Amino acid sequence: MLQVRFLFLGRVNMPSSNQRVSRHGRRSAARHVTPTLRQAFATQWRVIYALMMREIHTRYGRENIGFLWVIGEPILFCAGVAIVWTAIRPSHEHGLQMTAMIVTGYVPLTMWRHVVMRSVKAYEVNSSLLFHQLVTPFDINVARSTLEIFGTILAGALVFFGSEILGYMPAPQNWWLVYVGVFFLVYFCYGFALIVAALSELSELLEKAVGILTYVSLPLTGAFAMTEWIPARYQFILEYSPLANCIEMIRSGEFGIAVVPHYSILFLLASCTLQFLVGLYMTQRIRPHIKIS
């Protein structure tokens, strides 16, 4: 009796069984096969958005503050360092306020490091997503990087305004330099993430070494010192580091004429673009090397 009832219930929301289901219309897979350029962009956006939402749910779950942890992680890091350094270091270094130095240096550094950490083996751990033919490694990488970048920018803004309200940090002298500096920082991070993700897929060694490498390369990021402070014959090293260029630019906006900045917009534009193109090329070719679990 129970069996019969269930069978009946099962039939209710199904059309009569001899009716053929059309393979056209919105549910059809065929409409994704030969997209126009506009449709292709729309698909790419949909996929990246879907991946970001999925990432938020897997990483932060739905409990307590949930997706706010996107901001929470970097803010704990940046605020923690800013507070500790403000407390234990002299209030000024080379005439610049310590808190302002930390905020302008640590926020970009956090963004870069988090993006790098997120992109190590990003494709292998997400290989189940590649079951869907519309999802590409590029989408996966962009989704993950975007979350980190978005989170760090919000966290950075909160730490910055917090310090400013509490009087530990003056407002930037030139907002535009800060904006352009952050723009190049974001550009740099996207490109860097593409390369790290591809290389970590190819080499186990690199996967293990990434943590160490980001740590060892801390001096090259220019997060703790300004290029002007180091001996003139070594300055070229930081001048060839895109990340250091970004931070110099942001600091130049923050401190105005109090600092002698070493950055070149032309160099940033060229190096970030070149890096992004190399990253794109590698991402295009990485697909056969991804191990599917």
Partner 1 sequence: MERSVRCIGLSKSFHVGKERRLILDRINLDVKEGDKLGLLGRNGAGKSTLIKLIGGVEQPTAGKIVKGMTVSWPLAFGGAFQGSLSGHDNLRFICRVYDLDYKETLDYVEGFAQLGKQFYDPVKTYSSGMHARLAFALSLAIEFDCYLIDEVIMVGDARFTKRCEDELFNKRSDRTLLIVSHNMDFIRSTCNRTVLIHQRKIHECFSVDEGIDRYHEL
Binding site for partner 1 (CB under 8 A): 6-7, 10, 13-15, 17-30, 32-33, 43, 46-47, 49-50, 53-54, 57-58, 128-135, 287-288, 292-293
Rounded Cα distance between 190 and 174, Å, is 25
Comparison of 21 and 37: residue with beta carbon closer to partner 1: 21
Neighbours of 142 (CB within 10 A): 20
- Provide Rg for the chain, Cα atoms: 24
49 versus 234: smaller Cβ distance to partner 1: 49
Helix (H, G, I), strand (E, B) or coil at 262: coil
Of 26 and 38, which CB lies nearer to partner 1 in the complex structure? 26
Do 141 and 283 touch, CB atoms closer than 8 A?
yes
Token pair, residue 84, equals 């500790």
d(CA 263, CA 109): 17
Q: Could you tell me the smallest distance in angstroms from the CB atom of residue 31 to partner 1?
A: 8
What contacts 28, CB < 8 A, 6 or more positions away? 22
Question: Using CA atoms in the order 84, 107, 120, 243, what is the torsion angle rounded to 10 degrees?
Answer: -120
Backbone angles phi, psi at 18, to 5 degrees: -85, -5
Q: Both tokens of residue 71?
A: 């901001």
Q: What are 48's two structure tokens? A: 């990246």
Output the smallest distance, CB 286 to partner 1, in A. 10
Cβ neighbours, 10 Å, residue 254: 26
Start-to-end Cα distance in the chain: 44
Compare residues 78 and 197 and give the one whose CB is closer to partner 1: 197
Shortest separation between residue 32's beta carbon and partner 1, angstroms = 7
Shortest separation between residue 203's beta carbon and partner 1, angstroms: 13
CB of 163 to partner 1, least distance (A): 37
3-state secondary structure of 281: helix
Report d(CA 261, CA 224) in Å as an integer: 14
Closest separation in Å from C-beta 145 to partner 1: 19
30/165 with CB nearer partner 1: 30
Q: How far is the CB of 28 from partner 1 (least distance, A)?
A: 5
Question: In the complex with partner 1, which residue's Cβ is closer, 56 or 178?
Answer: 56
Nearer to partner 1 among residue 43 and residue 235 (C-beta): 43
CB of 281 to partner 1, least distance (A): 17
Three-class SS of residue 244?
helix
Specify the residue, 58 or 91, whose C-beta has the smaller distance to partner 1. Answer: 58
